[in-house]
C-alpha cells in the first residue's frame, strides 16, 4: 500500500524535484513510474528512480509537467497513485534604458516581462523606495506583462536609481538603471568690477553649478567690444579649480572687460556684465 502520496506538486523551472512513492508491505515492493498514463520512466540522464521508489528530475523543464503515476507491486498485489506536477516559471525583465534628460523635458521607461507565469505584479522603486502612481510628477501605467513609468516634467529631484521588480508565485526578478537629469549652468557667484593698484593681484570670482558639472571659461573683451578672445593662462595668469581667475603683477595690458562663461553639455551661460578692470596708481 502506497502511503503519504501527494495529489499535486508545484515546482520551479530549472530546479530539481523529488516525487516520493513510499509503499508498505512484505516482501518489499518494486516500483514503476509512468508519465501521462503511457510513458514508462526509467533512470536516465534527466531523471533517476531510487530503490525506495523516489523519482528525481534533476532540472525540471516545461516538458516535464503533467500527470505522474507510481505503481508499487509485490507477490501479493499492487497499489497505484497519481499526482500532477506543475512547473512554474518566474519572471524575467528586458533591460530598459534612460537617456540623459535635461530638466524640464519629458522622459519615460518601459519594464517588459517577456517570460513568467501570470499573474505578474510589477512594482517600481526610486532609490529603494516604492513609487506611488501620480505622486511627485510620476505616472505609472500597468498592463498584463509590462509597466510604463513616465515623467511629463523632469525635475532635478527625480535624479536617482529606478528599479523595476516583477513577482509571481514562482519567484521574482528586478532591474535597475540610473536616471541622469541634466541641469543648465547657473552662476552661484558672478564676477564684479574690480580696481587694483599696479602692480598687484587681480582676483575675479566665478562659480557655477549644474549637471554635468559646468566648466568655467574666461574671455577678455577688448575696449571696442567687437572682439573677444580666450584668456591665455600662464604663470602670471592662472585659473583655479573653483573657477576663479587670478592675474598676478597686473599692468596696463590687463585693462579691459572680462567675461565668465559656465558651459556644460546642456548649454552655455555667460556673465557679461561687471568685470570691468582698470589699473590705477597711487597719486
For the record, the C-alpha cell of 9 comes out as 506538486
Identify whether residues 231 and 164 lie together within a single domain: no
Q: Is residue 101 predicted with pLDDT exceeding 90? A: yes
Identify whether residues 209 and 136 lie together within a single domain: no
**Of 99, 106, 269, 273, whose CA–CA distance to 184 is shortest?**
269
Identify whether residues 238 and 190 lie together within a single domain: yes
| Contacts for 90 with CB less than 8 Å, ≥ 6 apart | 12, 13, 116, 117, 168, 170, 171, 172, 173
Q: Is residue 283 predicted with pLDDT exceeding 80? A: no
Q: What is the mean pLDDT of residues 38-54?
A: 83
**Of 146, 140, 150, whose CA–CA distance to 108 is shortest?**
150
> 95 lies in a domain?
no
Identify whether residues 112 and 150 lie together within a single domain: yes
pLDDT band, very low/low/confident/very high, at 259 (cuts 50, 70, 90): confident
Identify whether residues 147 and 193 lie together within a single domain: no
Q: Is residue 253 predicted with pLDDT exceeding 90? A: no
Last-in-domain residue among 31, 60, 88: 88
> 96 lies in a domain?
no
Residue 274: what pLDDT?
A: 42
Q: Which CATH number do you get for residue 118?
A: 2.60.40.10
Identify whether residues 83 and 119 lie together within a single domain: no
Residue, of 187 and 131, whose pLDDT is higher: 131
For the record, the C-alpha cell of 118 comes out as 501570470
Q: What gap in Å lies between CA 126 and CA 149, rounded to an integer?
A: 11
> 282 lies in a domain?
no
> 113 lies in a domain?
yes
Identify whether residues 175 and 206 lie together within a single domain: no
Residue, of 64 and 199, whose pLDDT is higher: 64
Last-in-domain residue among 56, 88, 120: 88
Q: Which residue has the cell 532635478?
A: 156
How many folded domains does the chain comprise? 3
pLDDT band, very low/low/confident/very high, at 115 (cuts 50, 70, 90): very high
Residue 147: what pLDDT?
A: 98
Q: What gap in Å lies between CA 178 and CA 157, rounded to an integer?
A: 13
Burial 245-261 (b: 16+ CB within 10 A, else e): bebeebeeebbebbbbb
Query: C-alpha angle with apex 20: 19 to 25, nearest 5 degrees?
Result: 150
> 93 lies in a domain?
no
Q: Which domain holds residue 127?
A: 101-179
| pLDDT digits 0-9 by tens, 72-93 | 999 888 999 999 999 999 999 9
Identify whether residues 188 and 159 lie together within a single domain: no
Helices and strands (H, E) in the chain, number of each type:
0, 28
Identify whether residues 221 and 269 lie together within a single domain: yes
Amino acid at each position: 500500500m502506497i502511503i503519504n502520496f501527494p495529489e499535486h506538486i508545484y515546482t520551479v523551472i530549472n530546479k530539481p524535484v523529488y516525487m516520493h512513492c513510499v509503499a508498505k508491505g512484505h516482501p518489499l515492493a518494486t516500483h514503476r513510474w509512468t508519465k501521462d498514463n503511457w510513458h514508462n520512466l526509467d533512470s536516465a540522464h534527466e531523471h533517476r528512480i531510487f530503490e525506495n521508489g523516489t523519482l528525481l528530475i534533476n532540472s525540471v523543464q516545461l516538458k516535464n509537467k503533467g500527470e505522474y503515476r507510481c505503481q508499487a507491486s509485490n507477490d501479493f498485489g499492487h497499489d497505484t497513485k497519481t499526482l500532477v506536477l506543475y512547473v512554474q516559471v518566474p519572471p524575467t525583465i528586458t533591460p530598459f534604458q534612460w537617456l540623459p534628460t535635461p530638466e524640464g523635458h519629458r522622459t519615460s521607461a518601459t519594464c517588459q516581462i517577456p517570460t513568467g507565469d501570470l499573474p505578474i505584479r510589477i512594482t517600481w522603486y526610486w532609490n529603494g523606495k516604492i513609487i506611488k502612481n501620480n505622486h511627485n510628477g510620476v505616472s505609472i501605467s500597468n498592463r498584463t506583462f509590462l509597466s510604463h513609468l513616465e515623467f511629463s516634467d523632469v525635475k532635478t529631484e527625480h535624479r536617482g536609481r529606478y528599479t523595476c521588480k516583477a513577482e509571481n508565485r514562482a519567484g521574482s526578478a528586478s532591474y535597475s538603471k540610473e536616471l541622469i537629469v541634466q541641469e543648465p549652468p547657473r552662476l552661484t557667484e558672478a564676477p564684479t568690477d574690480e580696481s587694483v593698484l599696479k602692480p598687484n593681484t587681480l582676483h575675479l570670482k566665478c562659480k557655477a553649478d549644474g549637471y554635468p558639472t559646468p566648466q568655467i571659461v574666461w574671455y577678455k573683451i577688448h575696449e571696442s567690444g567687437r572682439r573677444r578672445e580666450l584668456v591665455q593662462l600662464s604663470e602670471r595668469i592662472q585659473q583655479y579649480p573653483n573657477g576663479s581667475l587670478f592675474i598676478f603683477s597686473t599692468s596696463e595690458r590687463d585693462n579691459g572687460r572680462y567675461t565668465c562663461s559656465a558651459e556644460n553639455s546642456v548649454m552655455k551661460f555667460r556673465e557679461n556684465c561687471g568685470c570691468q578692470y582698470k589699473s590705477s596708481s597711487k597719486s
